[in-house]
A and B are shown apart, each in its own frame.
Chain A
Amino acid sequence: MTTPPKIRDLAHRLVACEAVATKTTEPRKSATLRVYEKLRDGLSEFAGVAGFESIASRALALARTEAPSLDAVRVSSDGELHGLERDLGEIEHPIDIDKDRAGESQAGEGEIILIARILGLLLLFLGEAIVLSLLRVTWPGAAFDDRNSENGRNE
């Protein structure tokens, strides 16, 4: 079963938020990895390191079914992701959600799927209201409501 478009769209939006934040303290990390790290920080505080690690591991297992490129990726016991880092030049291009959806590289797609799977599990366990309230703490400026989702985005 693939990730629902709405959740994937949410993942794209988080990555886009990170991509436009050009002044990053971790310039060698991809926007997707920064999204992962922020989710990890927020959720570890909220649900504990083990709580986040278990969610991330399950999300990775699900994401691998859609993106075999994630086979080499691992989640360590502290929730850190290994095997996803790539050269900055390869991935640090501005992310256009529509372009990305039309045909992003297989590796980039896998990263998005992983983020989407984490979000999907959180939505499954906690529901939209709580998940969005948690995301707003980490990305206070981002719009997560349906008006900006895939189906309802203002053109």
Chain B
Amino acid sequence: MSTQDKVTIHQLPTGVPGLDEIVGGGLPEFSFNIIAGAPGSGKTTLAHQFVFANATPERPALYFTVLGESTIKMLRYQQQYTFFDPAKLPDSIRFLNLSQVVLEKDLGAVLEEITKEVEKANPAVVVVDSFRTMVRKPQSDMDLQSFIQRLALFLASWQATTFLIGEYAEEELRDNPIFTVADGLFWLRQTAERNSIVRKLQIIKLRGQDSVPGLHTFRITDAGVQAFSRTFGLSGHAKNPPSHRRLSFGIAELDKMLGGGVREGDSVLVAGSSGTGKSVLATQFIAEGIRQGEPGIVAVFEERPQAYAERAASLGLDLETPQKDGKLTILYLRPLDLSVDETMHSILDAVQKIGAKRLVIDSLAGFEMALSPGFRADFRESLYRMIFALTGIGVTILSTVEVDESFTEFPFSTYSISFLTDDIVRLRYVSIDGQLRKIMVVIKMRGGNHAKDIREYEITSKGVVILGKRLTNYQGLISGIPVRSDRPDSTAEPSLDTGIEHKP
């Protein structure tokens, strides 16, 4: 049998942004699906989105409500969502209440009632909300199994794509026959993590196609449910071939230290303690990209975009004009309850919108703080997925990270994330001749040679300026407390920083 002979399973849009990607392109037509989860987890809203996305007057949706779900109250709230189009009622979407027959009769009568309405309306979509309340009355296992199988068979035969909504506990997964019969099983979870609510969605089962495994975060906004795939919607994107192009920082001496610049598609970590100029360096990196026609994104977590642009202006870098010209987006990601996936979604939207080639994340500490506490435990893993996904499509990422200044150690990052980066530039204070001066060193460049020099630099009104030649007349510079050696000093005496205010 050739692939041509195989049946084609059409996919229906879920109507939920991000969910099509997670389910592998769309929901299989004529599938029999369960949406399970605790109260308030978004089950009904998700079902409504599917209904509104697929119902037509020719192939309408039948939405059966049962005990526990008041149609009037449900519609009162659901119509607040932007996807809710009242004009679709009742020609495309019909709401029918089965409470009476459920209360007064048996499952056979319920099936008969559903059958009657389905045969009358010829629906493309059928929803039963809540299915759990429909079968709550004591039934024999055989009756329940028979009812579910007959219902699934009937609805599939009538070419309806079905959602049964129910409040189930995960312990029931093993024994409840409904989960065996279902083609698709969508599990919505909602947990409180300290002061934040974390919502996650899992496709436990989906027959006929590959869905993205694992837990995906989702959010309920005035637009309804929005899902954020763990693969960030990039699973279908072709990976860019490795590039040999070098990207300039706009600081000639630093470019030389980096062997000609940062390799395109690399992940660069700029690590240093407070006030060492990490953000300044990042701003110069993004500004130089714009100057060379490479659009950029700056994701800031600790200050507003306006403040970021004003600080850049004090260094002589104009970030206002490229923002107006669509060459630069400064993203301020609202703090405290983000998931990495949501952050990624915002960044990816911006990357795709302006065709960004460079991305600055300033800073990783701010990023972590912006996440809901429940996501912080997975920060490293999330960061790995994010960096891998973005560099895979050719974006060069520069992240800043604050490290505790120690005079006995030389850490690259407090997150132990250096394995996630291709290149590391370390900034640090050093005590020389009664002054607190700054030195810079390239620790690592994956896939390229780099200078081993330890260079002194200043932050001036023009940004980071690397001074003279490498410091050859000191031993133990990276300890922060060097000892003068007998070799002649090849550097000029550094002046004081010009007082440019930079972020602590």
The answer to whether residues A55 and B72 also contact, given A47-B97, A49-B99, A130-B79 and a CB cut-off of 8 A, is yes
Q: How far is the CA of A44 from the CA of B89 in the complex (A)?
A: 16
Chain B hits for A129, CB < 8 A: 79, 86-87, 89
Q: How far is the CA of A49 from the CA of B79 in the complex (A)?
A: 22
Give residues 104-120 of B contacting A (CB, 8 Å). none
- The 8 A CB mask of B309-332 against A (1 = contact, 0 = none) is 000000000000000000000000
Q: Which of A48, A125, A126 is B97 in contact with, Cβ under 8 Å?
A: A48
Q: Which of B70, B87, B89, B90 is A51 in contact with, Cβ under 8 Å?
A: B70
Are the C-beta atoms of A47 and B87 separated by less than 8 Å?
no
Are the C-beta atoms of B90 and A134 separated by less than 8 Å?
yes
Are the C-beta atoms of B97 and A46 separated by less than 8 Å?
yes
Q: Which of A46, A49, A125, A134 is B76 in contact with, Cβ under 8 Å?
A: A125
Give min CB distance, A138 to chain B, whole Å: 10
Q: Does A94 contact B (CB under 8 A)?
A: no
Are the C-beta atoms of A46 and B95 separated by less than 8 Å?
yes
Are the C-beta atoms of A45 and B90 separated by less than 8 Å?
no
Q: How far is the CA of A130 from the CA of B71 in the complex (A)?
A: 12
Q: Does A1 contact B (CB under 8 A)?
A: no
Chain B hits for A45, CB < 8 A: 96-97
Q: How far is the CA of A46 from the CA of B63 in the complex (A)?
A: 10
Q: How far is the CA of A52 from the CA of B300 in the complex (A)?
A: 53
Chain A hits for B100, CB < 8 A: 44, 48-50
Q: Which of B73, B90, B95, B96 is A125 in contact with, Cβ under 8 Å?
A: B73
Q: Which of B65, B89, B96, B99 is A130 in contact with, Cβ under 8 Å?
A: B89
Q: How far is the CA of A49 from the CA of B98 in the complex (A)?
A: 9
Give min CB distance, A125 to chain B, whole Å: 5
Are the C-beta atoms of B97 and A134 separated by less than 8 Å?
no
Give min CB distance, B327 to chain A, whole Å: 43
Q: Which of A44, A47, A49, A133 is B70 in contact with, Cβ under 8 Å?
A: A47
Chain B hits for A49, CB < 8 A: 97, 99-100
Are the C-beta atoms of A47 and B86 separated by less than 8 Å?
no
- The 8 A CB mask of A48-68 against B (1 = contact, 0 = none) is 111100010000000000000
Q: Does B436 contact A (CB under 8 A)?
A: no
Q: Does A27 contact B (CB under 8 A)?
A: no
Chain A hits for B96, CB < 8 A: 45-46
Q: Does B496 contact A (CB under 8 A)?
A: no
- The 8 A CB mask of A126-155 against B (1 = contact, 0 = none) is 110110011001000000000000000000
Are the C-beta atoms of A51 and B97 separated by less than 8 Å?
yes
Q: How far is the CA of A127 from the CA of B87 in the complex (A)?
A: 12
Are the C-beta atoms of B86 and A127 separated by less than 8 Å?
yes
Give residues 42-93 of B contacting A (CB, 8 Å). 65, 70-73, 75-76, 79, 86-87, 89-90
Are the C-beta atoms of B99 and A125 separated by less than 8 Å?
no
Are the C-beta atoms of A47 and B72 separated by less than 8 Å?
yes
Chain A hits for B75, CB < 8 A: 126, 130
Q: Among the interface residues A49, A125, A130, which one has the most CB atoms of the partner chain B within 10 A? A: A130
Q: How far is the CA of A51 from the CA of B95 in the complex (A)?
A: 13
Q: How far is the CA of A134 from the CA of B75 in the complex (A)?
A: 13
Chain A hits for B99, CB < 8 A: 48-51
Q: Among the interface residues B65, B73, B76, B86, which one has the most CB atoms of the partner chain A within 10 A? A: B86
Q: How far is the CA of A145 from the CA of B89 in the complex (A)?
A: 16
Chain B hits for A133, CB < 8 A: 86-87, 89-90
Q: How far is the CA of A125 from the CA of B77 in the complex (A)?
A: 9
Chain B hits for A126, CB < 8 A: 72, 75-76, 79
Q: How far is the CA of A130 from the CA of B92 in the complex (A)?
A: 13
Are the C-beta atoms of A46 and B86 separated by less than 8 Å?
no
Closest partner residue, chain A, to B95 (CB atom): A46
Are the C-beta atoms of A130 and B86 separated by less than 8 Å?
yes
Chain A hits for B71, CB < 8 A: 46-48, 51
Chain A hits for B70, CB < 8 A: 47-48, 51
Closest partner residue, chain A, to B80 (CB atom): A127
Are the C-beta atoms of A127 and B79 separated by less than 8 Å?
yes
Q: How far is the CA of A44 from the CA of B86 in the complex (A)?
A: 20
Closest partner residue, chain A, to B97 (CB atom): A48
Chain B hits for A122, CB < 8 A: 72
Chain A hits for B98, CB < 8 A: 48
Give min CB distance, A99 to chain B, whole Å: 33
Give min CB distance, B423 to chain A, whole Å: 57
A residues near B (Cβ < 8 Å) are: 44-51, 55, 122, 125-127, 129-130, 133-134, 137
- Other A-B contacts than A129-B86, A134-B89, 10 sampled, CB-CB below 8 A, are A45-B96, A48-B100, A49-B97, A51-B70, A125-B72, A125-B76, A126-B79, A129-B87, A129-B89, A133-B87
Could you pull out 29 A-B pairs where Cβ atoms are within 8 angstroms? Answer: A45-B97, A46-B71, A46-B97, A47-B70, A47-B72, A47-B95, A48-B97, A48-B98, A48-B99, A49-B97, A50-B100, A51-B70, A51-B71, A55-B72, A122-B72, A125-B73, A125-B76, A127-B79, A129-B79, A129-B86, A129-B87, A129-B89, A130-B79, A130-B86, A130-B89, A133-B89, A134-B89, A134-B90, A137-B90
Closest 7 CB pairs of A and B: A129-B86, A48-B97, A48-B99, A47-B71, A133-B89, A125-B76, A49-B100
